[in-house]
Structures are given as structure tokens and as C-alpha cells.
Amino acid sequence: MTTKIAFLTASEGIEKVELTEPWDAVTGAGHTAELLSPEEGEVQLFEHLDKADTRPVDRKVAEASVDDYDALVLPGGVANPDALRMDADAVSFVRDFVASGKPVAAICHAAWTLVEADVLSGKRLAAWPSLQTDIRNAGGTWVDEEVVVDGNLISSRNPGDLPAFIKTLLDAV
């Protein structure tokens, strides 16, 4: 049986390397990756503030079930998780995924979606430093570490942490 990993993004503002490098590692290890988004069509990747590639959406998050996946990856980028936290279906999917006990991996600004899903109480996680107050206000503890595992949450600070983030994700699945 193939392990299936969901990658959840908004329609734009996704930091390219935070989607493509984990995606390539997951599929390279023989797992199946599926891109979920609130809208059908394509998502726009960015290299910092500059438009980069696009990727086709495999399934709308409103039509997805946590039961269909073995893990969830939340790429960052500033605009991506900011838009996701405004989408009720995306927030509900993340909340249900965390509650399932299956691995949830979030990097950089992706922690904003976890804040909105109200799943950080008592949790330690790494994220972009500007999210410290949001994480504390959500009951979590921000730490300045390359990769943090707390229960089923895997988190990292930024693209520089991708090697450790990816290794930890692959170990978890």
C-alpha cells in the first residue's frame, strides 16, 4: 500500500522551495503526493516576492478527507498561510488532521494555519521568528531550532532548515 501525503496550499504566495523540495523528496521515496487547495486550477509559487512556477491542484480541500492521507505538509510563504487561515474548509482540514494523530509538517509561516486551527495549546514548534507572538497567543511555545517534533507536529523555521525538515518528515511516514 502506497503512503499518500497531502500538501495544502492557498492559490498563491507559496514559497516554491517549501513545496517543491519536500514534494520531490516524498515522491522520490516512493510515496504519492497530492496538492490540495481551496480552489481548483493551479497555484502560483513564489521565490520570495517574485512569481515562479505554477502547479496544478489535484483536489479541492473541501472534497478531501483526512482518511485519504497518511500525512499532511503545510508549505510556507507569507501570503499562502495567511490566505489559508481565512478558508474555513482548509482550517477544518488542518484541525482534523492534527486531531487524527497522523504527521503534520509545517515550515516557516505555515504555522499561521496551525494557529487558526487552534491546535497549538501546550505544543512546541519552530516557525518564522515573526510568528512568535501569534504562537504564544495560541498557547504554544516558539523555539529557535532547525526542526521540532512535538507529538505528531513537525516544524521548521525557514527554507534553510529544509534538509532536516524533509528527513524528519520522511522518517515519520
- The catalytic residue positions are 108
Q: Alpha carbon of 9 to those of 2, 28, 128, 144, 171: distances in Å?
A: 22, 21, 17, 24, 23
Q: Which candidate, 131, 122, 124, places its Cα nearest to that of 145?
A: 124
CA–CA separation, 25 vs 7, rounded Å?
Answer: 13
Identity of the amino acid at 77: G
What secondary structure does DSSP assign to 4-29, as a single string?
EEEEE--SEEEEHHHHHHHHHHHHHT
Query: Is residue 107 a contact partner of residue 162, using CB atoms and an 8 Å limit?
Result: yes
Q: What are the cell numbers at 71?
A: 500525512
> 137 Cβ partners below 8 Å, 6+ apart?
115
